[in-house]
Amino acid sequence: MADTDTRYTKDHEWIRLDGDIATIGITDHAQEALGDVVFVELPELQREVEAGEACAVVESVKAASDIYAPLAGKVVETNQVIVDEPALVNGDAMGEAWFFKLEIDDIEAFNALLDEAAYNEFLETL
Amino acid sequence: MIENALPDDPTPPVLLTTPLDAWHRAHGARMVGFAGYAMPVQYDLAGALAARCRGGVMAEHLHCRAQAALFDVSHMGQATLTGATAAALLESLVPGDIIGLKPGRQRYTLLTNEAGGILDDLMVATLEPGKFFLVVNASRKDDDFTHIAASLPAGASLTPHPERALLALQGPQAQAVLARLCPAAAALPFMGVASALVRGIPCLLSRSGYTGEDGFEISVPAERAEDLATLLVEQPEVVPAGLGARDSLRLEAGLCLYGNDIDELTSPVEAGLTWVIGKRRKLAWDFPGGVAIRDQLDNGAPRLRVGIRPDGRAPARAGTTIAATDGTEAGVITSGGFGPSLNAPIAMGYVRRDLAADGTKLSLLVRGKELPATVAALPFVPHHYVR
């Protein structure tokens, strides 16, 4: 069944919305492409981020990659579990290994993100 | 994100392939461009191989340290140099003792330039008097062969071997595996070279490698490369491993990568490779850059290659600026990443000579932040060569 409540970006992030709190992680495709994740750096709490702003880092054995805020908002929670255990990003990218939560102002911006069908279609083009 | 992990350009330049290209793809390799070749960076293993190792850089690395891994290094340049004057010719290009290199023995050496910089690092084996086998870096092979050929005296000839593949079987079980298929392999000493049949496949074996583990590099005719690779991964200790694991293994072993840790602007003294200079060669210093290198040995190099342990979990990659704790510029990281066997980030780089002692505190400038780090002895993981 298609998950209509999860949105995606072409930067391979997923976003789930609960009220005005958006939870952000990286997609299964992203963790596959990265390979073994060995380090995660998360944004500071209360940081205000613009959409598209680099605000976290994920490093695999192969390379470092920035993670961009998919929406504007304020960082209200970060997942320290993946800082202590980066391999969880490979193990459960779409679930337990979320990166951070943003309090967002613009719900419409969330609705404008890719839905699962559109993201899968995008993956087909890669 | 992930811009480093996914190709920006969907139509990459045409890459050369090794004789094992189809074999890699059939074994779940993820192929990347390296030195102009399509090469496996890691494998998504299936079937019996997946039961041995889940695949991926980390698991392939750890499997090599625990048992044995098979690497395709056919992109590297192989060549035979023959002629009564071949040893003297090589000594005019490298600082190593080649005239004294006995048949069946191999030596690591350097092609140097007049300024004392490093044109390439390579292996030279004496197959028989007046016949040498060379293995050079993929990225440098065309330049190296041109450079050597330009110095060829009458009666000597250089024959590159694009018709040969090169496999590396590395790890503590490499000897047990290869001896099962080729009893002569067990008797080969470290840096020994011998022709031998591996289950009927004609090979040139050398007991060497680039992982810090015991192991063999096996030169084989291209048309037998698939047979040999399949035979080797049929052995229960062996899994294929890609360039990702090869890089993390060599970094843990403190071994230089040409183009990163050594190049035309680094000297053997700075790189900590003065051990390659033959004792007899130090009497005459009659190799390219000999005088410059002797001067640097006498007066001290301004900078030295060192091992570096970042204090935290964040890897520091090649190109990272190194500062001293007083804020002055100290140097630059030339190789950096994560050491799976240490479960920690590791790096090598060049620092000012006054900062090169083990235990010296440094700062690494990563993403605008200063990460504390410490100069550490190389290798990070002890070598397990058979002596």
- The Cα–Cα gap between A70 and B254 comes to 40
> Rounded mean pLDDT of chain B?
95
What was the pLDDT predicted at A1?
39
pLDDT tens per residue across span A29-74: 999 999 999 999 999 999 999 999 999 999 999 889 999 999 999 9
Q: Which residues lie below 8 Å from residue A58, measured CB to CB, with a gap of 6+? A: A26, A34, A37, A39, A40, A41, A64, A65, A67, A86, A89, B1
Query: A2 pLDDT exceeds 80?
Result: no
Mean pLDDT of B85-104: 97
Test A57 with B42 for CB contact under 8 angstroms.
Answer: no
Check: CB of residue B207 under 8 Å from CB of residue B32: no
Quote the minimal CA–CA distance from B58 to chain A in Å.
7
What was the pLDDT predicted at A3?
54
> Which chain A residues are within 8 Å of B1, Cβ to Cβ?
11-13, 26, 30, 58, 65-68
Q: Does A51 reach chain B within 8 Å, measured CB to CB? A: no
Within the 84-123 window of chain A, which residues sit less than 8 Å (CB to CB) from chain B?
86
Tokens representing B352 are 């000012």
Query: B358 pLDDT exceeds 90?
Result: yes
Q: Does B338 reach chain A within 8 Å, measured CB to CB? A: yes
Band of the pLDDT at B12, cuts 50, 70, 90?
low
What was the pLDDT predicted at B2?
45
Mean pLDDT of A115-122: 95
Mean pLDDT of A20-37: 96
How many other CB atoms are found less than 10 A from the CB of residue A3?
Answer: 11
* Whole-complex ipTM: 0.88
> Which chain B residues are within 8 Å of A41, Cβ to Cβ?
314, 367
Band of the pLDDT at A5, cuts 50, 70, 90?
confident
Query: B5 pLDDT exceeds 70?
Result: no
What was the pLDDT predicted at B154?
86
pLDDT tens per residue across span B287-328: 999 999 999 999 999 999 999 999 999 999 999 999 999 999
Query: B10 pLDDT exceeds 70?
Result: no
Test A33 with B41 for CB contact under 8 angstroms.
Answer: no
Lowest mean pLDDT among B51-55, B143-147, B150-154, B356-360: B150-154
> Which of A26, A36, A39 lies closest to B314 in CB terms?
A39
Band of the pLDDT at B153, cuts 50, 70, 90?
confident
- The Cα–Cα gap between A88 and A82 comes to 6
Percent of chain B with pLDDT over 70: 97
> Which chain A residues are within 8 Å of B4, Cβ to Cβ?
62-65
